[in-house]
């Protein structure tokens, strides 16, 4: 488990170090700007842009650190222009944020307007006909008492409670964030229901959820639809029985239902062959942690959400538009972007908060591997509906599946 007071990872230090060099450069005005022809009608490039020594050093350091190479001189020139443009954008975002949280990663030379990591929630919101809001008092009366889960002094961190969280996952090149967020919520609830820790199948959710037109597998979906699917079947299988097989590398990118693995595994085996397969999760119901929001979401109850998180990790869907270049620190509402319901594009797991520091924050677990952010986690400012994390928080009601 991660310790709240641990040093930032080397990748964050390296990213911010390179970023700091470029910030100084751009503030000093040393960048050489591209020259254009006097003829305003021409669209043909003139001369290659010339760069300063500092810019040359920064570009060389980036290529060396991330082992970047290019097929041609023209491709490298193009990627380099994207790199310097992105550094200017990240400099502006860091200034807006109030502290540096964005820095150089291996995707800093990507095309403008593109993402380095898959999401899967944008435009896929599922609004149920009816919904329940969590009765926290009733839930607390039935919960399992876990050693070390009695949080105090304004700090809640489920990473410190052995077994409640499984390791950070990697959704790869598939828009399956919603399936991972659902599986992670059920994994945590299964432990709180008295079971041992078990990794559950995000692939089953991704491949099989089809409720009133939602969802599209790697093309995206929503956690609420996933819960409704799971309440209609035997249960959620262990990952060891139904492993994740969507592509992790760009050559196997999948962003549609057409390339999503089929829903072909027999769930009846979970009961019949339980002695071989092991425990699974029976999802009997779900609820919103607080009343959900389907509009501009300006008045969500953060205190009610914090009370829920004190008792359990929570699945949340939010706006991760600016997360690609996050390297560590507390991201504020100013740099997250919009937080209305229609801004949500990514689903993750909310696993704690720290309200005992001047820069109070929520602790969020992502599904982009431990190579991203702070070992796979991000901290979001606690004093607002940052990134819209309070719009659609949900929890599952589960039982330990058996023969």
Q: 148 and 93 in one domain?
A: no
Q: 182 and 91 in one domain?
A: no
Which of 72, 97, 122 is at the close of a domain? 97
pLDDT tens for the chain, residues 1 to 403: 334 444 444 555 556 655 655 544 444 433 333 333 333 343 444 356 788 888 899 999 999 999 999 999 999 999 999 999 999 999 999 999 999 999 999 999 999 999 999 999 998 988 888 899 999 998 888 776 665 567 888 999 999 998 999 999 999 999 999 999 999 999 999 999 889 999 999 999 999 999 988 999 999 999 999 999 999 999 999 999 999 999 999 889 999 999 999 999 989 999 999 989 999 999 999 999 999 999 999 899 999 999 999 999 999 999 999 999 999 999 999 999 899 999 999 999 999 999 999 999 999 999 999 999 999 999 999 999 999 999 999 999 999 988 7
Whether 4 maps to a domain, the answer reads no
Which of 38, 73, 97 is at the close of a domain? 97
Whether 116 maps to a domain, the answer reads no
Q: 359 and 269 in one domain?
A: yes
Half-sphere exposure of 276 (CA within 13 A, CB side): 5
Q: 391 and 327 in one domain?
A: yes
Q: Check which CATH number belongs to the domain holding 242 and give it.
A: 3.90.70.10
Whether 131 maps to a domain, the answer reads no
Measure the N-to-C terminal CA separation of the chain; round to a whole number of Å: 32
Q: 70 and 161 in one domain?
A: no
- CA atoms of 280 and 199, how far apart (whole Å): 9
The label of the residue with tokens 């704690």 reads: 352
- CA atoms of 184 and 205, how far apart (whole Å): 11
Within its chain, how far is the Cα of 328 from the centroid?
A: 14
3-state secondary structure labels for all residues of 328-384 = CCEECHHHHCCCCHHHCCEEEEEEEEECCCCCCEEEEECCECCCCCECCEEEEECCC
Whether 245 maps to a domain, the answer reads yes
Whether 253 maps to a domain, the answer reads yes
Q: 66 and 147 in one domain?
A: no
Tokens standing for 58?
């920064």
Q: 303 and 209 in one domain?
A: yes
Give the pairing type, strands 280-288 and 377-381: unpaired
- CA atoms of 125 and 112, how far apart (whole Å): 26
Which of 97, 125, 154 is at the close of a domain? 97
> Residue length, the chain?
403
Q: 211 and 81 in one domain?
A: no
Per-residue pLDDT at 17: 56
Whether 381 maps to a domain, the answer reads yes
Total tally of structural domains belonging to the chain? 2
Active site residues: 177, 346, 366
Tokens standing for 14?
């390296």
Q: 153 and 46 in one domain?
A: no
Q: 143 and 90 in one domain?
A: no
Q: 148 and 40 in one domain?
A: no
What is this structure's pTM? 0.88
Q: 183 and 66 in one domain?
A: no
**For residue 229, what are the domain limits?**
136-401
Whether 113 maps to a domain, the answer reads no
Strand partners, 285: 397
Per-residue pLDDT at 15: 60
Whether 104 maps to a domain, the answer reads no
């Amino acid at each position: 488990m991660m310790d709240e007071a641990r040093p930032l990872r080397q990748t964050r230090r390296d990213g911010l170090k390179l970023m700091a060099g470029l910030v100084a450069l751009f503030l000093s005005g040393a960048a050489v700007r591209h020259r254009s022809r006097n003829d305003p009608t021409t669209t043909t490039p003139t001369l290659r842009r010339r760069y300063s020594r500092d810019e040359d050093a920064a570009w060389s350091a980036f290529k060396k650190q991330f082992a970047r190479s290019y097929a041609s001189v023209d491709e490298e020139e193009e990627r380099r222009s994207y790199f310097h443009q992105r550094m200017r954008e990240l400099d502006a975002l860091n200034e807006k944020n109030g502290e540096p949280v964005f820095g150089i990663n291996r995707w800093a030379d990507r095309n403008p307007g593109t993402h380095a990591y898959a999401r899967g929630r944008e435009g896929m919101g599922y609004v149920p006909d009816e919904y329940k809001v969590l009765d926290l008092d009733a839930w607390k009366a039935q919960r399992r008492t876990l050693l070390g889960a009695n949080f105090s002094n304004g700090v809640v961190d489920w990473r410190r409670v052995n077994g409640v969280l499984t390791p950070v996952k990697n959704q790869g090149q598939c828009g399956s964030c919603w399936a991972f967020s659902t599986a992670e919520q059920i994994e945590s609830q299964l432990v709180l229901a008295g079971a041992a820790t078990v990794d559950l199948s995000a692939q089953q959710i991704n491949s099989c959820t089809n409720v009133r037109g939602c969802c599209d597998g790697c093309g995206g979906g929503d956690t609420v639809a996933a819960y409704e699917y799971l309440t209609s079947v035997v249960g959620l299988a262990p990952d060891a029985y139904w492993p994740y097989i969507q592509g992790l590398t760009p050559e196997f990118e999948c962003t549609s239902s057409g390339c999503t693995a089929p829903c072909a595994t027999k769930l009846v085996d979970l009961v019949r062959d339980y002695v071989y397969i092991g425990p699974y999760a029976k999802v009997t119901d779900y609820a919103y942690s607080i009343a959900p929001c389907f509009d501009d979401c300006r008045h969500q109850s953060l205190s009610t959400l914090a009370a829920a998180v004190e008792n359990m990790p929570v699945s949340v869907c939010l706006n991760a538009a600016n997360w690609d270049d996050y390297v560590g620190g507390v991201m504020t509402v100013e740099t997250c972007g919009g937080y209305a319901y229609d801004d949500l594009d990514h689903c993750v797991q909310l696993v704690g908060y720290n309200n005992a520091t001047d820069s109070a924050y929520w602790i969020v677990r992502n599904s982009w591997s431990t190579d991203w952010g702070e070992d796979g986690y991000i901290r979001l400012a606690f004093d607002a509906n940052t990134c819209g994390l309070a719009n659609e928080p949900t929890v599952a009601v589960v039982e330990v599946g058996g023969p």
